[in-house]
Every structure is written in structure tokens, then in C-alpha cells.
Amino acid sequence: MEKTSNIGFAVVLLIAVAITTFQGSRLEKMREAERFYRWIITYANQARTGSEEKKTDADSEGPKAMDAELFKSVVEITDRVLDNVDRPLVKDDYDSNGKVWPKIVLTVKDAVNESNPDVVKERFLYQLAGSNDLAPQRKEFLTYLREKKIAAFGDPLNPSKFLDPNSGDVNLGVVFFGFRTMAANLVWLQVDKFWHQGEMHRMYPLMKTCVALDPNFIDAFLLGAWHLSFNMTAGLPDTPEKLKVFDPIHKMRIGDKERLYNYAIDFLKDGIRKNPKNYKLYFDLGFAVYETKMGDHYNAQTYLSEAIRHRHDQWVPRMLYRALQLAGHYEDALAGWEDYKAKFPDSSKDVVSRSMSTIQGLIKERDAEIEFYLADQEKALADQARKTLAEAKAASDAARAANNEAEAQKQDSAAAAATQKIEQAEAKEKEARAKGDALYAEARAIWEQMSAGESGDPFAFGRIARMDARKMIANQQYREAIGLLDYARYQSNAFWSEGSDMIIEAKQKGGIALNLSERMELARREDAKQYANEAPKQIGGRFYEYRADAWYQDDYRGQVTKPYLPTPEEFAKSKREIPELQQILNLGAVTFQIDDVWYQYTPPQAQPAAIPAAETPGHARIELPVRFTTPRAA
């Protein structure tokens, strides 16, 4: 009997062990799928916002991160497995090259949007991460994770990477993992102490130590980036171009000031990798660093757009609309404000109304100047036709004097055609100028309404002064324009930079001597030209690099190009739809892509005779670039 009881107990025990082993194995597989799922979510967001970790081989420490290669493999599988998104595509569904993001990136974007989450897609992504479809990639991920080759979750605890033991007061080797949060608080107290003692050079290593100990210490990321980009740079002058060096990680020339900005960017991006759902990190990176300090409107839009996708304060979208306005995306900014007004009708009515009026005025100014540009193009066509008419008449008279009636009639036909072109061009010029004058008048009415009263809007005052000064310069009233501009730039901070440039322009056109600061500014610009080709330029999210004798979009690999020779109407349309186009053309000779077409642009003064004129009948080659400025916000 006792023997039978022991056998029964052993059987029960074996069954229990088997069940426990099975459940443990199943639980481990669920944990592995959970880790893989979290990595897919995190890296997809990083790829879309550009916050994935970038290093050069020389600067890399430890094993090479394999996130990009692994995610590429995931994309190849999921593009076959996933359906297309079941909604209309919007602007941020496209990358900087105008291509739709992979299906997995769009699915993640919809699934983790805390403002309007798609629970069905989120559940599906979790199931996909644990499915047989991605089993090889999941296995690779776990291998890379053990080998510390996954960077998307943020850097693992690696004290030697963050802190030189000879320069700091904290030795991480004696800190137990169970007390990491407490240790992080103590480290931050030391950071604060250094700040108040003015020993800012000792703060950065401890900041990185602090967030290594507690990766979820959001305030440490925010305050650390604030110290780096604002407090530590407060007393630093702008770095002269000749003292800058090339930074291969950030693809830009930097000095001490710019290096601190990049430290702040990297610090916040590390925070985003470790806390991908906290809007404050995206917001500070987009608004405080990229927009306020670096004037990088594209990256500001990218991170502010991501900030509003997560649970955020009500005022956060307003900074996105401001960034869109500064970048010249007026229609997008206005649509944002209209949506904000509909959602929060009782919130900050004055701010919303003023912002919408500002954008409406800027749209009318932009459209007016495009109409004036079209009028100038028609005037040039009319002048060219008049020259042709005079030559045809002279040739006709000479042919008749030589009794060559056939040639005379041929020249008479050419003269008639030229006369018709003159009439058409003059009519179009008149129409375009009338449209421009009407739009300018509408813009002026908006600015005058905004600037009325004792507490008038300084930004609107600056715009009125700009319009009046432009007219004065066109009428060669240079001294009057200079006086108005000098007064206006002191009344409107947002107009200072453009007003100062217009003063230099007026003085140069009028033969008026420049003052010392103006001469120094022109000297700085000339000095910068010497180094202009040494670093890539980022415009609208795309990088352009100088190769041999021209600029190229960095992903150009010998694709077929066509000369960029738009008609005036085509160029005007592009100016409205692609605000960054002017910056691209200002590079000079450049190869770039619009939609799926590659263009090669050569400035008029450098165009070889072999390049044909525009093929569109009745239009000569337009003189590019035509400068339209994007005003700063108030």
C-alpha cells in the first residue's frame, strides 16, 4: 500500500514538474515575444522621427548596433504579410524623400497613437511579433540583445562609457542595482551643486551617469538638455566659420556652441529611446533645441508632430503650428489652427485669432510676390518680343530695298508674330500685377487691423514696414527706405534679421556707405563661403552633399536626370507646394528629386550654351533663383 502511494506521489510530482516546465517555457516565449514587440514599436518610431542612434566607426564603443539591419529584414517580411493601411495617407506617412513609409512603420504609427490609438492594430502587432512569420528575426533579435548589439532601448548600464573615474565623485561600481533610483537622485543633487557653483564642465558626465542609473528619470533628461543647450551656451559667442570642424555623426560643421547643442540633441534622443511614449522629450527636442536654438524647422516639425501623438498638454500643438509657419508651410499651419479652434473654442481666443490672421496675411503676401514674379517674367517676354519685332522690321525693310519680296513677307510674318506676343505678354503682365496689388492690399488690411491701437502687434508693424520699404527701394528712395527699416526692426524683434538685410540691400543699390557692423556681416558671409562645400546641407529633411563641382541629394546614385527648366507658372506652383525649393536652388548647381523625378539645375549665369531653352512655346528660360523670404514668427 505504501509502495503504491509513493508511486502515485511520484507520478503527480512528475506531472507537476512537466506542467511547470511547460508553463515556464511558454512564459519565456511570451517574454521573448514581448521584448521583440517592444523593440519593433520603439525602432519603428525612431526610424520615422530620425532618433535612431547614429555613430561613426571611429566613435563607436563596444559591439556594433544591429538594429538597422534587423529592422530591414523585418520590413521585407511585413511588407508581404501586412495589408495596406485602411485610411487615406497624410503628409507624415511619407519620408523625407516623398516615399511612403513601410507598412510596419505605418501600422505602428496608428497602433501607438495615444491621441487616437488603434487597439486592433496594436493587438495584431503583438501577435505578429510572436508569430512564425517573424521567428527568424525574433531569434536574431534575442541573440543581438544578449550580445548587447541592440541600441533602440537606449544604452545599457556601462559606467566606463559615461564617467571617467578620475574626474567624478561617484563610483558606479559600488552601487547595487536595487538602489539605482536612489543613487540617480544623489547624482542629480551633485549635478545641481555643480550648476550653482558654476562648474558646468563637470555636469555633463554626471548627467549621463544619472540617466544610466535611472533611465526613466524624465526630469533629468529635460533639465540636462536645458543646461546643455541654454545655460552652458549663454555666454558663448557664435563660432566663426574658420574655427568650426566637421562632425561626421551630425553631418555639420561645429564649434563649442554647436557641440553643446548636439550634446543636448543626443541626450534627449537617448531619453526618447528609453521612454518612447513621453511627449515632453519630443517637445523639448523639437521646440527648445531644434526650433529655438538651431532654427531647424524641419526637425522641429518632426518631433513636435510626434509629441502630439502621445498624451500631451493642450497647448503643445500650438508650437507645432508655429514651426510649420516658420518653415513656410502656411496652409498646413492654418489648417492646424482651425482644427485647434474647433476642438477648444474657449481656449486662448486672442492667441488663436492672432495666429490665424498672421498666417492669412503671410499667405497673401507670398501669393502677391509670386504674381509680381510672374508679371516680371511676362515683361521680360514682351521686351524680348519687342527686340524681335525691331529686328524683323529692319530685315523686312532691307529685303524690300533689295527687291526680295519673299524674304520681306517672311520678316513681316515674324513681325506680326512678335506683335502678337507683345500684346499677349502685356495683357498677362497687367493681369498678374493687378492680382499682386489686390493680394498685397488684402495683406496690408490684415496687418493694419492687427497693429491698430496702443498695444498693436509688433510683427504686423514689421510686415507693413517691409511692404512700404520694398516700394521705396523699387522707386530708388533708398534713404527713406533705410530710415523706415531701421525704425521698424527696433519695434519688431521678429523683423530684425530681415530688416537688417534689407538695409544692406538698399545701401548697396543706392551707393550708400555701410557701417562697421554691416561690413563685418558681409565679411562673415564671404568667410563662410570658403567652407560652404565642406559639410552636407540639410534642407527639408534631405541631405545635400558637394561632389566635385556641384551639389547632389545624398541618395543620388547616377539616376537619369532632366534639366530643371520650369515655366514661370510651374515654378510658382512649386513655390507654394514646396517651400524648401528656394533653399535647394540657392545651393547653385544642384541635382535633386521632386516626387519620383530627378532634376539637374544649373544657375543662369553658369548655364552652358548646350542646354536648350524651355520647350514650352511662348516662354523663355526663367532666371532662377527668385528669392521669396520666409518671415520669422513674433
- Assign 28 a pLDDT band (cuts: 50, 70, 90): confident
The Cα–Cα gap between 243 and 259 comes to: 12
pLDDT value at position 472?
95
DSSP3 helix / strand / coil % (the chain, rounded to 5): 65, 5, 30
DSSP 200-231: GGGHHHHHHHHHHH-TT-HHHHHHHHHIIIII
C-alpha distances in Å from residue 419, one per residue of 183, 259, 406, 425: 85, 62, 20, 10
- Assign 385 a pLDDT band (cuts: 50, 70, 90): very high
- Residue 239: count of CB within 10 angstroms of its CB: 16
* CA proximity to 156, closest of 169, 164, 166, 145: 145
Please name the residues in contact with 272: beta carbons below 8 A apart, sequence gap of 6 or more: 46, 49, 51, 278, 281, 282, 285
From the number of C-beta atoms within 10 Å of its C-beta (0-12, 13-18, 19+), residue 418 rates as buried
- Assign 491 a pLDDT band (cuts: 50, 70, 90): very high
- Assign 55 a pLDDT band (cuts: 50, 70, 90): low
pLDDT value at position 158?
43
| pLDDT, mean of residues 80-107 | 79
Q: Is 60 exceeded by the pLDDT of residue 174?
A: no
| From 65-79, 162-176, 244-258, 336-350, the region with the lowest mean pLDDT | 162-176
From the number of C-beta atoms within 10 Å of its C-beta (0-12, 13-18, 19+), residue 295 rates as exposed
DSSP letter, residue 94: B
Select the more confidently predicted residue: 472 or 32.
Answer: 472
Torsion angle of C-alpha atoms 34, 39, 40, 44, degrees rounded to 10: 150
Residue pLDDT, tens place only, 571-612: 888 888 888 898 999 999 999 998 889 999 998 764 433 323
Residue pLDDT, tens place only, 408-428: 999 999 999 999 999 999 999
pLDDT value at position 488?
95
The Cα–Cα gap between 79 and 354 comes to: 45
| From 38-47, 253-262, 301-310, 398-407, the region with the lowest mean pLDDT | 38-47
* CA proximity to 271, closest of 541, 51, 120: 51
Q: Is 80 exceeded by the pLDDT of residue 280?
A: yes
C-alpha distances in Å from residue 137, one per residue of 121, 183, 184: 20, 37, 35
Angle at 225 between CA 224 and CA 226, to 5 degrees: 90
Contact 228, 271 (CB under 8 A): no
The Cα–Cα gap between 137 and 154 comes to: 20
